[in-house]
Amino acid sequence: MIRFFKLAAVFLISSASTLFAQEFETGEVDREHARVELVSEIDQVATGDTFDVALRFDMIDHWHLYWTNPGDTGMPPSVEWIVPEGVTVGELEFPTPERILTEPFVSYAYEGEVFFLSKVSVGEDVDVSNGLRIQVVANWLACADICVPGDANLQLDITGGENSSESKWSDVISETRASQAQPIAAGMQFEVLENSISLSINWAGLEGESFEDLYFYAEQEGVVDSAKKQTYSQNGSTVIISLPKSEYFSGSVEKLSGILYNKSGFSAVGGSQAIFVDSEMEAGSIVEATSSIEATSASPENESDLTLGKALVFAFLGGLILNLMPCVFPILSIKIMGFVQQSGEDKKKVFSHGLAFTVGVLVSFWALAGTLIALRSTGDRLGWGFQLQSPEFVAVLLVIMFVFGLSLMGVFEFGTSAIGLASKVKGSGYGSSFFSGVLATAVATPCTGPFMGPALAFALSLSALQSLTVFSVLALGMAAPYLILSANPKLVEALPRPGAWMETFKQAMAFPMFATCVWLVWLMGAHVGVDGLAGVLGGLLILSIAAWAYGKWSAPHRKPTTRRVSMIVSLVIAVAGLWMLYPKSSDTEGTVATSGAKSADKYGLVWETFSPELVASLRAEGKPVYIDFTAKWCLTCKANKTVVFNSEEVKDRFEELGVVLVKADWTKRDPVITDALESFKRSGVPLNVLYTGTENGEPLLLPELLKPSIVLDALDKI
Amino acid sequence: MRITKLLGILVAAAAMFVSAAQAAKIGETAPDFKLLDIKGKEVSLGDFPDQVVVLEWVNYGCPFVKKFYNEGHMQAMQEAAKEKGVVWLSICSSAPGNQGHMTADEWVDAAKGKGVNANVLIDEKGEVGKLYGAVTTPHMFVIDEKGVLAYNGAIDSVKSTKTADIATAKNYVVAAYESVLDGGSVESAITKPYGCSVKY
């Protein structure tokens, strides 16, 4: 008999197309390694019913079937349903698997009796008074020490009847349904590290929960090594699990989903042992998870205290105030001069200019908001003014401001226009009004930080649509004075008439420009250090020479040759100035404090700045050294610090043992730190290393995901 | 008896641990080995300098292997490789008493019965399998002319025991050795192998 089925199986496999010609069997069928049956929770079916059917396997001892991700080896069962039209059968639902060891491999699989559920829905227009026939073609792979494929064509007839009644399988099917991993809208994030994947799950139900044999079954194949142990650390409502990376992991992983198993049950879901989590389940919850990790390190309380309405009011006021900022004020003055000129013109035209300006402001704010939203979705957590973290952006802004200021002063003039960059601003077309709106926004951004901080932080924590609204209101606030002026020409008429005073006013306007330059130079200083700053100022000096040369010999009354030569010469000088001023990559690392500099962190620990020489000399002195290779963009690093350095026990032990703490900050890719990481055969952070202080002692490399006990154990070796 | 079994498991686990630490890595020199083939001749990787070598872990009892042998697909792949000057070595790491294990004489008959011309090496101690980290049958490795491991993983992209699926699957091994022969880099150099576990 068995032999017959073996033959039949081989035959079926080799000619799949003949499957449907096969007979379907009713009731329990006997296969080599399992008894298989199609069962239903109801005995009688009526039109409109929805109920569970189950593919029931009763496996012979030691034989198992596989979960959707089978682990090291294996393959999940597959089914094809055949039902009358109007009847639908849902996907096969896999229960929570077990880890089954067939040394040295670990499979995610099932042994014993297992029920794979599927939801059946009978449509409202389907007549089942004569009964319902459900057929399934099932294929599976059963393995013990060896693997054997199996298949069965099963059939189930349910009698028709007005009262759907429970079958003898109803209890066990509802039990199976109840024990199915429940989908939870948990905040989920993961980070792919050198040897592991650090998975962070944030869910209120994890708070205060005790875990036994906590395990994450990833649905994605070839990502997690099923044969290796998973470790975890718990911090409030966040659990971070270190998933050993599969040897066959390559490239990237877009999403992670799967079953989180806790032997002692999750009390938040009635003691059920398994929950289902998905990193793409809900965008909002992912953001929540991020901020909860942040919440432990930063203090973004003010973010959530603002309601949307309040934020909109703040945004409008903020926008208004922007007009008074030194970086916007010059634009304001140019624009007012524009209005002064236009005041004699058609009133409608003046208002249209106001509108064009407003649109210019709006569009620029939308572009900024779009950039922020896009960056946020890539996982970078950026605040307002993030452009100012980029020395290149600051440099460009500085040059614009400085050149603009020189021009206002009258050092040179762009062509025939009074104010170089503002030539378009000053023009009379609607395009120029639009452009001046854009320019005003671009120039205003550096000043918004302190005023707009809370409103923008709030905006960034909202959905894309809501944050766009906040940005729009901000833009409207900024454009409001212009719009009001252009709508009420009387107010414009009240403005002073153009005259000689304008030249004086224009020159005076250079000073707010230079004031802004002072501020920008100061910002540059934070990026490039004192030496870099000398280069920046030198660059500005050369740029001013270029501007002066251009202004002196390029004026319209000069001979054409003189003008041409001077234009080329001043251009060359200007390029030299720009090159000198532009932040070099080596400069940007200049902020790294000199080696050995000490700084205390928010956990009250004093860290020295990493250098190989420092570590070598400390080791020579026989001092124990703890090195934290970290980066600001590394979430796992942050989580490690929160968990470990908040522990008084760890801090006490550090002090008792006189451990010297050294921090290697890899936020900017520092080649010295890259080399150091390579010396430990790593290419990324986090990496925590402990030298026990014995001469020539091998360093202890701590795992990527830390908890206090791991660090304490390591410290015990000193 | 129990203790010996337990010890056996421990030794196997330790061996696996050690081998996992040294398992063959893409871009690194593939570890050399010496095995007897089914005709009793000693074969080593060093016998094939300047040639591309394909290693195939095999177990005729495994349904995933049968998928490729029953209708001659694997045999055809082996012939096609040979025509391009690629060396194809099938390796059986099944331990004595486990599925797939055969004596040299039984192997000769079985291979003849299946019309297999590629050489089969017997690794009943599982040393070479563990050296390469072979997990499944089939589990495929491609080694380039310089002896560097260029591919490690599945035979193709459709995980199943159905012969009919071969036609629609992307064959990783052929793609890998053809890229190597063309002097290019292998697009997917590492994939998750599928199949039965190697019966160490």
Q: Of A647, A616, A627, A640, nearest to A690 (Cα)?
A: A627
CATH at B94? 3.40.30.10
Q: How far apart are CA A18 and CA A16, in angstroms?
A: 5
- CA of B10 vs chain A CAs: smallest distance (Å): 10
- Quick one: pLDDT at residue A377? 56
Confidence of residue A541 (pLDDT cuts 50, 70, 90): very high
Q: Which of A13, A148, A222 sits opposite B192 (nearest CB)?
A: A222
Q: HSE on the CB side for A680, CA within 13 Å?
A: 26
- Quick one: pLDDT at residue A580? 84
Q: Which residues pair with A691 in a beta bridge?
A: A625
Q: How far apart are CA A639 and CA A235, in angstroms?
A: 9
- Quick one: pLDDT at residue A103? 74
**DSSP, res A321:** H
Confidence of residue A172 (pLDDT cuts 50, 70, 90): very high
How far is the CA of A545 from the CAs of A401, A406, A557, A571, B32, in angstroms?
A: 16, 11, 20, 11, 69
Share of chain A above pLDDT 70, in %: 73
Q: Is B61 on the interface with A (CB under 8 A)?
A: yes
3-state helix, strand, coil in chain A (%, to 5): 45, 25, 30
Share of chain A above pLDDT 90, in %: 20
Question: What does the longest C-alpha to C-alpha distance in chain B come to?
Answer: 55
- Quick one: pLDDT at residue A632? 67
**DSSP, res A43:** S
- Quick one: pLDDT at residue A345? 61
- CA of B62 vs chain A CAs: smallest distance (Å): 6
- Quick one: pLDDT at residue A561? 83
- Quick one: pLDDT at residue A54? 95
How many domains does chain B fold into?
Answer: 1
Q: Which of B12, B161, B190 sits opposite A13 (nearest CB)?
A: B161
- Quick one: pLDDT at residue A348? 73
Residue B165 belongs to what domain range? 2-197
pLDDT digits (tens, 9 = 90+) for B99-116: 899 999 999 999 999 999
What residues of B are in contact with residue A141 (Cβ under 8 Å)? 63, 161
- CA of A148 vs chain B CAs: smallest distance (Å): 6
What's the mean pLDDT when you consider all of chain B?
86
Strands A25-26 and A182-183: unpaired
- Quick one: pLDDT at residue A281? 62
Residue A50 has pLDDT above 70, yes or no: yes
Residue A133 has pLDDT above 90, yes or no: yes
Q: Of A704, A696, A703, A691, nearest to A660 (Cα)?
A: A691
> Using the beta-carbon criterion (under 8 Å), do A146 and B99 form an inter-chain contact?
yes
Give the residue with greater pLDDT, B19 vs A520.
Answer: A520
Confidence of residue B75 (pLDDT cuts 50, 70, 90): very high
- Quick one: pLDDT at residue B57? 96
Residue type, A626: Y
Give the residue with greater pLDDT, A281 vs A177.
Answer: A177
> Using the beta-carbon criterion (under 8 Å), do B192 and A73 form an inter-chain contact?
no
* Angular region, A74: left φ>0, alpha ψ -120 to 50, beta rest: left
Q: Got the DSSP string for A611-645?
A: -HHHHHHHHHTT--EEEEEE-TT-HHHHHHHHHHH
Interface test with A, best of B10, B161, B166, B185 (most A CBs within 10 A): B161
Q: Which of A105, A149, A247 sits opposite B161 (nearest CB)?
A: A149
ipTM of the complex: 0.74
CA angle B35, B37, B43 (to 5 degrees): 50
- Quick one: pLDDT at residue A224? 92
pLDDT digits (tens, 9 = 90+) for A340-349: 566 556 667 7
- CA of A682 vs chain B CAs: smallest distance (Å): 15
Q: Is B197 on the interface with A (CB under 8 A)?
A: yes
pLDDT digits (tens, 9 = 90+) for A225-276: 998 899 888 888 888 899 998 888 876 777 889 999 999 999 888 888 999 9
Confidence of residue A586 (pLDDT cuts 50, 70, 90): very low
Q: How far apart are CA B197 and CA A671, in angstroms?
A: 44
Confidence of residue A308 (pLDDT cuts 50, 70, 90): low
pLDDT digits (tens, 9 = 90+) for A474-506: 888 888 877 887 777 666 666 555 566 667 766
CA angle A553, A554, A556 (to 5 degrees): 115
Residue B86 has pLDDT above 70, yes or no: yes
Confidence of residue A451 (pLDDT cuts 50, 70, 90): very low
* Residue A194 CB-density burial (10 A; 0-12 exposed, 13-18 middle, 19+ buried): middle
Are the CB atoms for A376 and A382 separated by under 8 Å? yes
What's the mean pLDDT when you consider all of chain A?
77
Q: Which residues pair with B53 in a beta bridge?
A: B87, B143
* Angular region, A401: left φ>0, alpha ψ -120 to 50, beta rest: alpha
> Using the beta-carbon criterion (under 8 Å), do B161 and A105 form an inter-chain contact?
no
Are the CB atoms for B186 and B179 separated by under 8 Å? yes
Residue A216 has pLDDT above 80, yes or no: yes
Confidence of residue B19 (pLDDT cuts 50, 70, 90): very low
Confidence of residue B74 (pLDDT cuts 50, 70, 90): very high
Confidence of residue A286 (pLDDT cuts 50, 70, 90): very low
